[in-house]
Amino acid sequence: MAKKTVRDLQVKGKRVIVRVDFNVPIKDGVVKDENRIVQALPTINYLVEHGARIILLSHLGKVDHKDPSKTDADKAKNNMAPVAAKLAGHLKTKVSFVAQTRGADLEKAVADLKDGEIVVIQNTRYEKGEEKNDPELSKYWASLGELFVTDAFGSVHRAHASTVGIAQLLPSALGFLVEKEVLMLSKAIVNPEKPFVAILGGAKVSDKIKVIENLLKIADKVIIGGGMAYTFLKAQGKEIGTSLLEVDKVDMAKDFLTHHGKKLVLPVDFTVAAAFAEDADHYVVDADHIPANYMGLDIGPKSIKLFEKELQGAKTVVWNGPMGVFEMKPYAIGTIAICKAMSELPGAYTVIGGGDSAAAAIENGFEDGFSHISTGGGASLEFMEGNPLPGIAVIQEK
């Protein structure tokens, strides 16, 4: 059965708690990237136009509750005030910010809401019980509203008080952003049009074991790049120098190669460097000739051509994880090449599963070349693993 969406709720005059993902980068009190705020606007504007009284909840950064000195510093650094101000600039309604997560000031601000107005509550992680899905905290937050909408796809893989606890106590629905994510990712992972090619990169095999296992069942080809490729090379008995290696995952990589060798596509050359640095001595070598004192930091030109060839004719392509250390210009070539190749595939349904690969595509101007770029790295990874996401599973069925 399908989940309820915000369209299925009667929101006029009702206090609607919306869990948004406003976990944005802030420096010196200024929001540096407002993309996540912008992504939430369709749901917020819908609720404003339909006369809801809107209460917004989001986490921001991390708060260490074990060390009191760190707790105060983290709270100061991760104050939601600049986010509320940035949001207000996008809206024509009253936006109030309450610097507390509970108490008389918050309750009064909520009670004073008029139809179409918004209250932004302080960072949910100011509360120690947020990440533990504390029942008392969930009950308190739920008491502020009458309906609950989840629109924070980047947090639906976490069973926290603000993502799951409130939803267990109030009539609930998906916001437009989460609804879109579920539809777009399902089209790629649950019902992909064949041929289906998956591209996996990033640092560690351990982060993506379940993703690899699930995609090997459904994809026609699984291309491996990034730091995780070196563990597969080691499994083939090759010299990988000082490249990233997960020793305890070599046997697992061997197993994948033994049982799915025809589906797995590994790089055939690499850009290697004398050190993990942008200005380090670096050059391109074949996969069989990585020097013992060098580390691989990107795929090479032969690998790019091989991967481009594997992508030809694909009808569905999913990508998660960069091909190299794309933050450093000399080692961004492979990642940019994958962006370009995917964005130019004729008639293909192309999805980036959030995280660093999404950042790379956006930063390099390929944003409009994809069918969908997910807003949730961890959540999209769990979706690609085939796991239910607790923040979506808890939402009421239609």
pLDDT digits (tens, 9 = 90+) for 276-306: 999 999 999 999 999 999 999 999 999 999 9
Q: Who wins on pLDDT, 297 or 363? A: 297
Q: Which pLDDT value is given to residue 272?
A: 98
pLDDT digits (tens, 9 = 90+) for 7-40: 999 999 999 999 999 999 998 889 998 989 999 9
Tell me the mean pLDDT in the region 338-343. Answer: 96
Q: Which 8-state DSSP code applies to residue 126? A: G
| Cis amide leading into 322 (omega within 30) | no
The fraction of the chain above a pLDDT of 90, given in percent, is: 90
Task: Examine the domain organization and report whether 222 and 321 are in the same domain.
Answer: yes
Under the banding of pLDDT at 50, 70 and 90, the label for residue 1 is low
Alpha helices per DSSP H over 127-175: 135-143
Task: Examine the domain organization and report whether 211 and 291 are in the same domain.
Answer: yes
- The residue among 179, 206, 229 that closes a domain is 179
Task: Give the Cα separation of 350 and 317 in Å (integer).
Answer: 5
- The candidate with the shortest Cα–Cα distance to 339, out of 349, 331, 350, 330, is 350
pLDDT digits (tens, 9 = 90+) for 319-339: 999 999 999 999 999 999 999
Task: Examine the domain organization and report whether 201 and 278 are in the same domain.
Answer: yes
Alpha helices per DSSP H over 263-394: 301-311, 333-343, 355-363, 377-385, 390-393
Task: Examine the domain organization and report whether 88 and 206 are in the same domain.
Answer: no
103 phi and psi angles, rounded to 5 deg: 115, 180
In a domain, 1, yes or no: no
pLDDT digits (tens, 9 = 90+) for 305-317: 999 999 999 999 9
Task: Examine the domain organization and report whether 148 and 206 are in the same domain.
Answer: no
What's the CA dihedral at 34, 383, 256, 196 to 10 degrees?
-90
Task: Examine the domain organization and report whether 175 and 196 are in the same domain.
Answer: no
Task: Examine the domain organization and report whether 24 and 74 are in the same domain.
Answer: yes
In a domain, 25, yes or no: yes
The structure's pTM equals 0.89
- The residue among 138, 154, 179 that closes a domain is 179
In a domain, 160, yes or no: yes
pLDDT digits (tens, 9 = 90+) for 89-115: 999 999 999 999 999 999 999 999 999
Q: Which pLDDT value is given to residue 348?
A: 97
- Residue 359 clears pLDDT 90, i.e. is over it: no
Beta-carbon contacts of 206 under 8 Å, excluding residues fewer than 6 positions away, are: 246, 249
Taking 3-state DSSP, the helix, strand and coil percentages for the chain, each rounded to the nearest 5, stand at 40, 15, 40
Could you tell me if 293 and 285 are in contact, meaning their C-beta atoms sit under 8 angstroms apart?
no
Number of domains into which the chain is organized? 2
Beta-carbon contacts of 314 under 8 Å, excluding residues fewer than 6 positions away, are: 195, 196, 197, 220, 345, 348
Q: Which residue has the tokens 């008392």?
A: 136
3-state secondary structure (DSSP) of residue 315: coil
Could you tell me if 173 and 47 are in contact, meaning their C-beta atoms sit under 8 angstroms apart?
no
Task: Give the Cα separation of 237 and 249 in Å (integer).
Answer: 14
The fraction of the chain above a pLDDT of 70, given in percent, is: 100
pLDDT digits (tens, 9 = 90+) for 112-151: 999 999 999 999 999 999 999 999 999 999 999 999 999 9
Q: Range of 163's domain?
A: 6-179
Task: Examine the domain organization and report whether 210 and 316 are in the same domain.
Answer: yes
Tell me the mean pLDDT in the region 170-199. Answer: 96
Task: Examine the domain organization and report whether 125 and 196 are in the same domain.
Answer: no
| CATH (domain of 163) | 3.40.50.1260
Tell me the pLDDT of the chain averaged across its residues: 95
pLDDT digits (tens, 9 = 90+) for 246-257: 999 999 999 999
Catalytic residues: 36, 204, 355, 378
- Residue 213 clears pLDDT 70, i.e. is over it: yes
Alpha helices per DSSP H over the chain: 35-49, 68-77, 81-88, 104-111, 135-143, 176-189, 209-218, 229-235, 250-260, 301-311, 333-343, 355-363, 377-385, 390-393
- The residue among 120, 149, 179 that closes a domain is 179
